[in-house]
Structure 1
Amino acid sequence: MGTNQPDSLQQYALENLPPPTEVSGVTAANFAEKVTNHYRPVVLRGFAAHWPLVQAAKQALPEAAAYLTARSNNKPQKLVSLPAQTSGRLFYNNAINGMNFSASQQPLNTAIDTMLKSSAAGSPHYCVQCVPVADNFSALLPELNNPLLDPSPKPFIWLGTRVTVPAHFDEASNIAVVAAGKRRFTLFPPEQVANLYIGPLDLTPAGQPISMVNLQQPDLQAHPLYANAYQAGLSVELDAGDAIYIPSPWWHSVTSLSDFNVLVNYWWSNAYVASALPLPMLLHAIQAFNHMPLGERAAWQSMLQHYLFNPADPLAHIPAEARGVQGKLTPQLAQGLHQWLAAQLNR
């Protein structure tokens, strides 16, 4: 790094970024009008202030932990352990052929107890990620009501100490609720992908591609284009009870700022079947197109532009009822397409 790095760090401080818009008075009836139709992150302050878990957390973080352990099914979970020198940042090892953390199976309540005892300086950082509430906190499930969504999206819970998840995207829309502690969310529009220096698509800390940029200490010599991403960024600190809506595939990094943190989130998508998720299709497209001769590749670029990204209606010449999978995708059509794709890929 250059000698001006301290000035650079201040120049790119996340606290200096503008926050997402805060919206109040959101209901299921006006959720689309006020939030999702704008395709921007939105902060919902006090969204879950009435949850008993949030109320316990506002008394004290150990109270939130006790509230959870009393309602835990105590099934084994993967407890991620990050050495102190990582500063809790989930990332790759130095060779970028593995990760900078280890994991072990622990009963959930044991994992929570380990987190509570790890606040001393020099201690490892811990987290348990993406735990289905229905299977692991069944007694808690009725309390985590989300009035903006229908009952089908089931909540997941994330527990940990001071841990940072690098910028990544989700393949579904997301409402993330801070249930205990504080968290900072830093977000970038999807079109900033070229400025975020994305790591390997097939080797990731938790399944989704991540930015190689350390947002807390950006190295502008290694990642000079991050300066452009920063100018488009948003960042906000949320307290227990606050929530944020994150549209897919907005890039977002999440930093836990307290010794014990709890997040509850809900994902939902309009896709009928899992095969419609876009990341597997992107990986297959890379496999299909990257080794073509340039002329053939350019031809397929024209095809994709026409069928996927055409601002005009590329199907105007076909009656609506005859458009098949290019038209309105019913569950029956989606399932048939899924079976056809599976057969093609297994030839």
Structure 2
Amino acid sequence: MTRTLDPALLIARQRPVVVRGLVRDWPIVRAGRDGPAAAAAYLKRFYRSAPVVGYTGDPTIGGRFFYDASGTAMNFTATRVALDAYLDRILATLDAFDAPARYVGSTDLDTYLPGFRAENDLAADFDGATPLASIWIGNRTTAATHFDMSNNIACCVVGRRRFTLFPPEQIANLYPGPLEPTPGGQVVSMVDPRAPDFARYPRFAEALASAEVIELEPGDVLVYPALWWHNVEALDGFNVLVNYWWNMAPRFMDSPMNTVLHGLLSLRDRPDSEKQAWRALFDYYVFGPAERPAEHLPEPMRGALAPLTDLSARRLRAQLVQRLNR
């Protein structure tokens, strides 16, 4: 029997939630029970030759995709590959202790494996939002601790996965790395949770005290909110995960990371007294109740303080671009 998920209800808890066995009847999960070769053969049924990005790292990185010793480049290479051939490379070194780390991450399901979701899709009501469904494939690899700007539903379908999750308020204790370059597009923690260097990163002990470690078996589903930091370890020689990212914010809203970057440009290096005053303004206009700044103003006077629409968002964006280009 198909079980339906209510993502909004689970995300409202603002904590990670595990739903055991929710997708255990998916055909990809059943194929995985017959072994890695059967799972790979199932995936190949849907592949239509479009190249994907394959990430390959030397055995010495221990499967952790991160920075090299210089800290200015990655410890892996990213190349366009044929998925079927890349799957064969993973299968060829399943049990080798010196196997390269191989990983295909965040690959759009509908684009690269058309038809897969017709047989393997989550029964969920996203309340009008359109989720982005992706697939992640690899051997024993680790995605360094990072956060995403969307809510996430992670479906473990082949192999086991270990998630170590940290709430957003632990950011300072996670010692974030540079804004760019990054291993996968998002800022990562400089600390390896598998072997933390407490002498170098002493506050990480506080982060660990608040961490949630969750191990998933094939068929299990993990739901967690946007901006939760997560370190993801694939624990077997062949692993597949399907995930759904979604936000309830309207599509016309800009990325908050752009605000962070602008804050670095306009606020960070001002005197502390000024920054505290600007904090009060941000609390009033941005982080407080959305209706408060405009509630005492007649409607014709509200301008950008009124609830945003697609049209007013475009106008505000044009105004910002004009100001930035002065």
TM-score (norm 1): 0.86
Q: What whole-Å deviation, never above 9, does each CA across 1:85-120 have from its counterpart, x for those lacking one?
A: 110111111121111111222111111111111221
Q: Which residue of structure 1 lines up, in the alignment, with residue 17 of structure 2?
A: 42
Alpha-carbon contact 2:163-2:213 (below 8 Å) kept: yes
Using the alignment, how far apart are the partners of 1:74 and 1:239 within structure 2? Answer: 30
Using the alignment, how far apart are the partners of 1:113 and 1:274 within structure 2? Answer: 41
Q: Which moved more, 1:225-234 or 1:144-153?
A: 144-153
Structure 1 residues 154 and 194: CA distance shift in structure 2, 3 A = closer
Q: Percent identity?
A: 37
Task: Give the paired residue count.
Answer: 321
Structure 1 residues 235 and 295: CA distance shift in structure 2, 3 A = same
Q: Which residue of structure 1 lines up, in the alignment, with residue 67 of structure 2?
A: 92
Using the alignment, how far apart are the partners of 1:203 and 1:275 within structure 2? Answer: 25
Q: Which residue of structure 1 lines up, in the alignment, with residue 110 of structure 2?
A: 134
Alpha-carbon contact 1:72-1:139 (below 8 Å) kept: no
Using the alignment, how far apart are the partners of 1:162 and 1:130 within structure 2? Answer: 16
Q: Which residue of structure 2 lines up, in the alignment, with residue 244 of structure 1?
A: 222
Q: What whole-Å deviation, never above 9, does each CA across 1:120-175 have from its counterpart, x for those lacking one?
A: 11121100111111110002121232222347213111111111111111101111
Q: Which residue of structure 2 lines up, in the alignment, with residue 339 of structure 1?
A: 318
Using the alignment, how far apart are the partners of 2:12 and 2:153 within structure 1? Answer: 15
Moved beyond 6 Å, runs of 4+: none
Question: Alignment partner of 1:155: what SS?
Answer: strand
Report the CA distance between 1:36 and its aligned residue: 1.7
Report the CA distance between 1:80 and its aligned residue: 0.8
Structure 1 residues 300 and 144: CA distance shift in structure 2, 3 A = same
Report the CA distance between 1:82 and its aligned residue: 1.1
Structure 1 residues 274 and 246: CA distance shift in structure 2, 3 A = farther
Report the CA distance between 1:31 and its aligned residue: 4.2
Structure 1 residues 48 and 327: CA distance shift in structure 2, 3 A = farther
Q: Is 1:264 paired with 2:242?
A: yes
Structure 1 residues 299 and 75: CA distance shift in structure 2, 3 A = same
Alpha-carbon contact 1:118-1:125 (below 8 Å) kept: no
Alpha-carbon contact 2:252-2:310 (below 8 Å) kept: no
Structure 1 residues 259 and 53: CA distance shift in structure 2, 3 A = same
Report the CA distance between 1:302 and its aligned residue: 2.2
RMSD: 2.2
TM-score (norm 2): 0.91
Q: Which residue of structure 2 lines up, in the alignment, with residue 32 of structure 1?
A: 8
Question: Alignment partner of 1:215: what SS?
Answer: coil
Q: 1:244 is matched by which residue type in structure 2?
A: L
Structure 1 residues 217 and 319: CA distance shift in structure 2, 3 A = farther
Alpha-carbon contact 2:161-2:234 (below 8 Å) kept: yes
Unpaired runs of 5+ in structure 1?
A: 1-24
Q: Is 1:60 paired with 2:35?
A: yes
Q: 2:197 is matched by which residue type in structure 1?
A: D
Question: Alignment partner of 1:276: what SS?
Answer: coil
Report the CA distance between 1:208 and its aligned residue: 0.5
Q: 1:249 is matched by which residue type in structure 2?
A: L
Q: Is 1:145 paired with 2:124?
A: no
Task: From 163, 168, 171, give the equivalent of 1:190.
Answer: 168
Task: From 118, 122, 130, give the equivalent of 2:93.
Answer: 118
Unpaired runs of 5+ in structure 2?
A: none
Q: 1:128 is matched by which residue type in structure 2?
A: V
Alpha-carbon contact 1:273-1:338 (below 8 Å) kept: no
